[in-house]
Amino acid sequence: MKLKICKSDVKGSIAAPPSKSYTLRALACAALAKGQSRIIKPLVSDDTLAMWDVLSGIGAGIRGEGDDWWVLGGNFRAPHSDLHCRDSAGTLRFTTALCTLVPGQCHLTAGSSLARRPVGVLVKALNDLGVQCCASGGYPPIMVTGGKLRGDEVSLPGDISSQFVSALLFIAPKAETGLTIKLISPPESKPYLLMTLQCLEKFGIKVQADPDLLAFTALPQSYRPAEYSVEGDWSSASYLLALGAVIGETTVTNLNPNSLQADRVILDLLQQMGAHIDIGGDSIKVKRSELKALQADLSDCIDLLPTLAVLAASADGMSELRGIKRARIKESDRVAAMATGLSDMGIGVKLEDDRISITGGTFNPAVINPMGDHRIAMAFSIAGAIAGDITIKDAECVSKTYPRYWEDFNKLGGKAVTHGK
């Protein structure tokens, strides 16, 4: 589906969708807890439904009732068929670890985008723990033969993906002797590790973590069923907040200003750029402002790169965004996708290995190929609303994390209209 984004004047209020990251973590914990858990207002999207399907395949009983999901966990079984993770990296990485607890063999497959993302670090860590786990060349698909999880201690790099560490944290309490996880390099995306620890605690699991998050120790423990309320998603909210900052006034509700989510830092970064922000309870209001250039390290909030790149392109001066190399191995090479799209729109962009420099300017009409990446499509909707006459291909890719994005975009006064297939 192609959408043409016309020049817009936005104003209104939208509730942020539930957090994808917390929904995935709650599902993992609930599947490990013997008994019935309730996940209150989870995100319903391609990624979270992928997690639902895989967990169901290994024996978790999951049903939806109204806005909530009920999970009957604690009884894993060997699957009857392949476990397809679609293009959800969190689903693949978390459930690969969970499959070590399944009495039998699990074959996890991936969609075309996810199949290009490496998993060798996790596979090696699981083999070091005595699990039979293999992935040809270090990429999906992954074969896991469940059995006894030896425990003791395992080491892995911290600067690859926090999801590998979180995956091990989910199974650490189930190891025979408990498990100590040591990182041989400083972790990036620390907030995501804190989110995992917070979720584990909600389901009765205590993990001793070093202050610098270089080591984690969990003794043998049992997960307890819980009621878990999913807070709003700051990553998804970033596009709505950015719209207010550049072309009008937006209010986004259902947000926790004190959230552990990494992308909550969008508030601080918008303020650094000169945006007018009002915070009231769970509500954030952003008004159109003359934005100034930004210097920022995105190591802990890499998903904000597309949003901030467009904001930088509309700001006065040259912005520099650092700590971005991991964005090259997301759903797309997001660094290349943003650089290409902005250059096509007449914006000055300079690329280095771990940084991008963007000089603010005037957007020209362009056709944007988001490379099937939801965050690229949503980010360029902001540029389209500023300039008009921007066509976004494969606009339906937003269903990965924010299925209602275009509906909410139009409700705020954005103008996105179907423009062919």
Cα separation, 199 vs 203, whole angstroms: 7
One domain for residues 9 and 70? no
**Average pLDDT over every residue of 94-113:** 97
Cα separation, 174 vs 200, whole angstroms: 13
Q: How would residue 13 be classed by pLDDT, with cut points 50, 70 and 90?
A: very high
Residue 188 confidence (pLDDT) = 82
What sign results for the dihedral spanned by CA atoms 120, 125, 126, 130?
positive
One domain for residues 10 and 127? no
- Interval 243-263: pLDDT, tens: 999 999 999 999 999 999 999
Of 233, 244, 236, which Cα lies nearest the Cα of 285? Answer: 244
SS3 breakdown of the chain: % helix, strand, coil, rounded to 5? 40, 25, 35
Residue 29 three-state SS: helix
One domain for residues 193 and 245? no
Residue 221 confidence (pLDDT) = 97
- Interval 350-378: pLDDT, tens: 999 899 999 999 999 999 999 999 999 99
One domain for residues 60 and 158? yes
- In the chain, the percentage of residues whose pLDDT exceeds 70 is 100
One domain for residues 265 and 311? yes
Cα separation, 385 vs 397, whole angstroms: 19
Per the prediction, the chain carries an average pLDDT of: 96
Greatest alpha-carbon span in the chain:
61
- Length of the chain measured in residues: 421
Evaluate whether 123 touches 154 at the Cβ level (below 8 Å): no
- Interval 372-399: pLDDT, tens: 999 999 999 999 999 999 999 999 999 9
Within 8 A by CB and 6+ apart from 137, the residues are 120
- Interval 218-243: pLDDT, tens: 999 999 999 999 999 999 999 999 99
Residue 421 confidence (pLDDT) = 60
One domain for residues 403 and 292? yes
* Lowest mean per-residue pLDDT among 120-124, 144-148, 386-390: 144-148
Tokens linked to 243: 């719209």
**Class of residue 318 by CB neighbours under 10 A (exposed 0-12, middle 13-18, buried 19+):** middle
**Average pLDDT over every residue of 27-45:** 98
Boundary of a domain, candidates 229, 247, 271: 229
**Identity of residue 83:** L
Q: How many CB atoms lie within 10 A of CB 404?
A: 16
**Average pLDDT over every residue of 199-210:** 98
- Interval 410-420: pLDDT, tens: 999 999 999 76
Q: How would residue 150 be classed by pLDDT, with cut points 50, 70 and 90?
A: confident
| Beta bridge mates, 209 | 216
Q: Does residue 284 or residue 158 have the better pLDDT?
A: 284
**Identity of residue 58:** I
Active site residue 353: no
Q: Is it the case that residue 408 has pLDDT exceeding 80?
A: yes
- Interval 40-79: pLDDT, tens: 999 999 999 999 999 999 999 999 999 999 999 999 999 9
Residue 148 confidence (pLDDT) = 80
Residue 420 confidence (pLDDT) = 65
- Interval 310-349: pLDDT, tens: 999 999 999 999 999 999 989 999 999 999 999 999 999 9
Domain of 325, in residue numbers: 3-16+232-418
Residue 174 confidence (pLDDT) = 95
Cα separation, 161 vs 118, whole angstroms: 10
Mark 321-358 as b/e (b = at least 16 C-beta within 10 Å): bebbbbbebbbbbbbebbbbbbebbebebeeeebbbbb
One domain for residues 204 and 113? yes
One domain for residues 334 and 301? yes
Boundary of a domain, candidates 209, 229, 249: 229
Provide the number of structural domains found in the chain: 2
**Average pLDDT over every residue of 137-153:** 92
Q: Is it the case that residue 184 has pLDDT exceeding 80?
A: yes
Cα separation, 143 vs 162, whole angstroms: 21
One domain for residues 147 and 203? yes
Boundary of a domain, candidates 172, 194, 229: 229
Q: Which residue bears the tokens 């690859």?
A: 160
Q: Is it the case that residue 178 has pLDDT exceeding 80?
A: yes
Q: Is it the case that residue 299 has pLDDT exceeding 70?
A: yes
Within 8 A by CB and 6+ apart from 292, the residues are 273, 274, 315, 316, 317
Considering 303, 373, 394, 408, which one is annotated as catalytic?
A: 303
DSSP string, 254-316: S--TT---GGGGHHHHHHHTT-EEEEETTEEEEE----B--EEE-TT-GGGHHHHHHHHHTSB
Cα separation, 24 vs 314, whole angstroms: 34
One domain for residues 50 and 130? yes
Any idea what the CATH number is for the domain that residue 412 is in?
3.65.10.10
One domain for residues 221 and 241? no
Q: Is it the case that residue 159 has pLDDT exceeding 90?
A: no
One domain for residues 215 and 329? no
